[in-house]
Structure 1
């Protein structure tokens, strides 16, 4: 009898391990309102902005662009009356269902070592990599972003 119970328990364990979970949904991130500023004359850096909405809690962990040697996720904050910008080494949290806006004066994407000047009307390809969701390709228009807190008409 003891042998039958052990065998039954082992069979149940194996069945549980091999079964595919039902209704598994992968995190999906939607990107809207992507825009990069034109590069200033003689400079090879610029900021890009986008609004991200994740279906499940996730994190933007890196950005890449063929238009730039380096792309980083930055935060902008004011301490002691001085505005400071720094890379977010752990990425940017994306709470489930909440629109997270990367915008002027706040969190943003910084393109550095831009390979050729970006002018209004151009587009920039960005690849956003997340902790859970599949990488997302985004085409950002080059132009002036809506002012912080401004309405874009969408």
Structure 2
């Protein structure tokens, strides 16, 4: 009987330790602070031709988390690769597209526009044509806030 109580006490102690360790190890995201969040405004995704194997997404991303952050990656099951891209004009007036190295800084209270002819999310390796109105799950990966999933509609008319 005494051994049974001791064993039960040890089991309860380990269970409490496990609960406390789990609670302490959960990383609180800045998005958990009440209304603090990233706002995604006017998102849309489009390809230039129905047979294109690439597409671009455009949106305005507003940081209202209470801390500075950086968008460092983007993922989607829609295509083989999604990357942060920008258009720049070279000395000869030729527009060139390149990957944004190091991500996009998003100071608290500020926004960043991903627009046609400027910064955008580049989807490459599309398996099928985009359909008007289709909703595409996109994961935004932030340095501090971690991963946030959004839905981006396909709008081939913009």
TM over 0.5: yes
Q: Which runs of 4+ in 1 moved over 4 A?
A: none
Is the 1:30–1:53 contact (alpha carbons within 8 Å) kept by the matching residues of 2? Answer: yes
Matched-pair contact (CA < 8 Å) for 1:36–1:49: yes
Structure 2 unaligned blocks of 5 or more: 1-23, 32-36
Partner Cα distance (2:29, 2:82) in 1: 29
Aligned to 1:142: 154
Q: CA RMSD in A?
A: 2.0
Structure 1, unaligned stretches of length 5 or more?
Answer: 1-19, 147-154
**1:1-154 matches, cutoff 5 A:** 26=30, 28-38=37-47, 40-55=49-64, 56-80=67-91, 81-144=93-156
Change (3 A) 1:25 1:43: closer
Question: Structure 1's 76 and 25: CA in aligned 2 closer, same or farther, altered over 3 A?
Answer: same
Q: What secondary structure sits across from 2:125 in the alignment? A: strand
TM-score, normalising length: structure 1: 0.73
Find the counterpart in structure 2 of residue 6 from structure 1: none
Shift in alpha-carbon separation, 1:39–1:82, aligned structure 2, 3 A: closer
